[in-house]
Structure 1
Amino acid sequence: MIRSLYTASTGMFAQQINMDNIAHNISNVNTTGYKKARVAFEDLLYTRLPAPRTGPDHTTLQLGSGVRVAATVRDFSDGAVLHTDQMLDVALNGNGFLGVSTDRGIAYTRSGSLQVSNGRLVTTAGHPVLDTRGREILINRDISHVQIDEKGYVLGMRGNRDDMITLGQIGVARVANQHAMVAIGGNLFISNESLDIGAPGQNQRALLMPGFLEMANVQVVEEMVNLITAQRAYEVGSKAIQASDEMLAQANNLRR
């Protein structure tokens, strides 16, 4: 009876983490560049029980001990794009990330809401965006009307001149093993791989869409279905604990 109590409790604990993850996905439905996560489960150790018979066709008896959360896996599929018509908004269409400089080194993001701050092209969180050579894109104070074209070139006007000059080109970084990336918050991911950055569209890198933002790839209806499924699994686990408790109580009353 004690085994069934423990086994059912592992299922409830795993489903609680699953529901927490689903709630996190739903809460970020309007977060630009957010990539939804799913919980991966794996079964726990098995106990081998004595077989009722021997022989060439005997069956091995194994009793499992429950489930545990193995990992959270990110879905890096593209999200829907939103037309903002803002000159410094950019969406990535395809494989790749924007490389940014942070206190933890180089990080990666799909959130293309950019701005000019302290003479640099930065994200809304203030992280400098990297160019095709992994360097920050600098913008002098006398530059105005800064905008981004479809090839990732950052353009602007100097002083009273009417012609546009090129200030740099936004780089698109590739990560070979995206599922090994670690989310650190703020729409950022880090990777142990060395920086692989180049021009948009080069070597199957993502293309840029100026005036657009990539939204979260979260489907609310799908997440609600997953939430109901997790809730039902949690409820069944609690009923299994209740049934095991009642059976244990009956066994304790046999002597009375």
Structure 2
Amino acid sequence: MLKAFYSSATGMRAQEVMIDNTANNLANVNTTGFKRKHVNFADLIYDTNSPPGAAGANGIIKPIGLQIGSGVRTVGTTTLFSQGTPTETGIDTHMAIEGEGFFKVTQGANIAYTRDGSFVRDDQGQIVTADGYILDPAITIPPEATNLSISAGGVVSYQVNGIATTGPTIQLARFPNPAGLQNLGSNLYAETPASGAEVLGIPGENGNGLVRQNYIEGSNVEVVSELVSLITAQRAYEINSRAIRAGDEMLSSASDLVR
């Protein structure tokens, strides 16, 4: 059986993963704080009939070898944390991170991290995500509070009966390897051994980004780049299928020789 059948089959499966990833990126082009993913591939094990540098019959070292690959496999997906486009909303509880960092949120014992700063107030005045995750450290705004202000350094202040009040300071979390965070859906990430432990800090200090009130961060998906990736994956899939067809025609020709 031709090895090309199996190699081309792995190529078709790899391009299916590529198209699935591209489709997910395009589907989230308007998702707040979404970070696009890049698929990483690696070639499979090689059949080595003659390794490079082997000695020939005359004792001369061969400058090249004879190695035939077995196809391709999907290694993983890398999340690209480039900055998304900020959009002004005019909502005083909305925040965008300009630079590195994540908002830390909690729901009971569950801890998660997000770049989605479209926070709202719940029935107790706490600043929460759309799914009810509470911003950590917790910030509670009294119902009678006015002139809510959040500085670039994360300092929360407001007025109650004309008296200025300062609340807790928003902190941002950073990770040694943010690409190692686990996607939980709903714009949330979870810490993993690959990401390393969280490092909490004040916005604008020690490499943390700044907080921009009244803004949210858009997706970093580039539609044109994703469409190019989609076309490339589709063409690669077609070429791999043609390689299988060519191998089938070769076997058919070989079987005709004995008729």
Shift of 1:89: 0.9
**1:195 positional shift:** 3.0
1:85 aligns with 2:87: no
Q: SS in structure 2 opposite 1:234?
A: helix
Please point out which of 192, 197, 212 is paired with 1:194. 197
Task: Provide closer, same or farther for how the CA distance between residues 16 and 149 of structure 1 changes in structure 2, counting only shifts above 3 A.
Answer: same
TM-score by length of 1: 0.91
1:153–1:241 CA distance, 2 compared to 1 (3 A): same
SS at match of 2:233: helix
Aligned in 2, Cα 1:84/1:113: closer, same or farther, shift over 3 Å?
same
One-letter code of the match for 1:67? Answer: V
Aligned pair partner of 1:123 in 121, 125, 129: 129
Amino acid at match of 1:148: I
Displacement of 1:127 in angstroms is: 0.7
Measured in 1, the distance between the counterparts of 2:217 and 2:43 equals: 36
Task: Give the match for residue 26 of structure 1.
Answer: 26
Distance 1:103 1:185, change over 3 A: farther
Where does the alignment leave 5 or more consecutive residues of structure 1 unmatched?
none
2:155 counterpart letter in structure 1: Y
Cα-to-partner distance string for 1:172-214 (whole Å, 9 max, x where unaligned): 1111111211111111111133332121111121101111111
What is the CA–CA distance in structure 1 between the aligned matches of 2:107 and 2:38, rounded to whole Å? 27
Which SS does the other structure have where 2:134 is aligned? Answer: coil
Between the aligned partners of 1:78 and 1:129, the Cα distance in structure 2 is: 21
* Corresponding letter in the other structure for 1:188: L
What is the rounded CA distance, in whole Å, between the counterparts of 1:236 and 1:30 in structure 2?
A: 33
Alignment partner, residue 113 of structure 2: 108
Distance 1:36 1:104 in 2: 28
Give the drift of 1:16. Answer: 0.6
Q: What is the SS of the residue equivalent to 1:129?
A: strand
2:248 maps to 1:245? yes
- Whether 1:56 and 2:60 are equivalent positions in the alignment is yes
- Aligned partner of 2:100 in structure 1 is 95
Q: What percent identity do the matched residue pairs reach?
A: 38
Tell me, yes or no, if structure 1 residue 203 matches structure 2 residue 206: yes
2:121 & 2:219 partners in 1: Cα distance? Answer: 24
Worse overlay, 9-18 or 197-206: 197-206
Q: Which moved more, 1:109-118 or 1:98-107?
A: 98-107
Which one of 67, 78, 98 corresponds to residue 72 of structure 2? 67
Q: Which amino acid aligns with 1:57?
A: I
The AA in structure 1 aligned to 2:179 is H
Change (3 A) 1:206 1:212: same
2:127 maps to a residue whose letter is L
Check the 8 A contact 2:152/2:204 in 1, yes or no: no
Query: Does residue 223 of structure 1 match 2:226?
Result: yes
1:45 is aligned with what amino acid?
A: I
CA distance 1:139–1:194, shift in 2 (3 Å): farther
| Residue number in structure 1 paired with 2:167 | 167
SS at match of 1:78: coil
Q: Which residue of 1 aligns with 2:152?
A: 150
Secondary structure of residue in 2 paired with 1:204 = coil
> What RMSD over aligned residues (CA atoms) do the two structures have, in Å?
1.9
- Looking at structure 1, the residues matched to 142 and 88 of structure 2 have their Cα atoms a distance apart, in angstroms, of 28
Q: Deviations over 1:90-146 (max 9, x none)?
A: 110111111111467321111100011142211112111113xxxx22344554554
Partner Cα separation in structure 2 for residue 96 and residue 85 of structure 1: 22
Aligned length: 250
**What TM-score, normalized by structure 2, do the two folds share?**
0.90
